[in-house]
Amino acid sequence: QVQLVESGGGVVQPGRSLRLSCAASGFTFFSYGLHWVRQAPGKGLEWVAVISYDETNKYYADSVMGRFTISRDTSKNTLFLQMNSLRAEDTAVYYCAKDSMAGPNPRGAVDYWGQGTLVTVSS
């Protein structure tokens, strides 16, 4: 079965960096686009970024553009999110999620989610 396991969250000071990882299994990793979606405490879902199956296309929310970088390592079936210049408003649970459609262009609908990793930005 599909499994997505995030790691790397924690408490970090404003302005510092953090790298999240998501280990994937149970599906053909190199065939699907992957997303990061976050949820601030007590709030709704906010899409953060997506990467296509071959890394040629990457898209970001305006709120993280220029600060966050999404990448993937097909040899390790792992998705990453490098977060720089963190702000208090980046505090959230970060979910790794699999796009529902295989192929070069992610559909945008997500069919599997990890359990999330909590990032807290605080001094």
Partner 1 sequence: EIVMTQSPATLSVSPGGRATLSCRASQSVSSDLAWYQQKPGQAPRLLIYGASTRATGIPARFSGSGSGTEFTLTISSLQSEDFAVYYCQQYNKWPPITFGQGTRLEIK
Question: Which residue's structure tokens are 């262009």?
Answer: 105
State the virtual CA torsion across 9, 10, 14, 17 in degrees, nearest 10: -50
61 is a contact residue toward partner 1 (CB under 8 A)? yes
Could you tell me which residues come within 8 angstroms of residue 119 by beta carbon, excluding any fewer than 6 positions away? 9, 10, 12, 18, 20, 83, 86, 90, 91, 92, 93, 94
The overall longest dimension of the chain from CA atoms, in Å, is 42
* Beta carbon nearer to partner 1, 18 or 106: 106
- Chain residues 72-101 in contact with partner 1, contact rule CB under 8 A: 95, 100
- Binding residues for partner 1, rule CB under 8 A, total 22
By C-beta, is 49 or 86 nearer to partner 1? Answer: 49
Residue 112 in the binding site for partner 1 (CB under 8 A): yes
Taking the least distance from each CB to partner 1, the nearer of 28 and 115 is 115
Closest separation in Å from C-beta 28 to partner 1: 16
For residue 16, what is the DSSP state?
-
Judged by CB under 8 A, which of 23, 45, 102, 118 binds partner 1? 45
Report if residue 107 touches partner 1, rule: CB under 8 A: yes
CA distances to 8, 25, 59, 70, 99 from 34, rounded to whole Å, are: 17, 13, 11, 9, 6
Footprint of partner 1 (CB under 8 A): 35, 44-47, 50, 59-62, 95, 100, 107-116
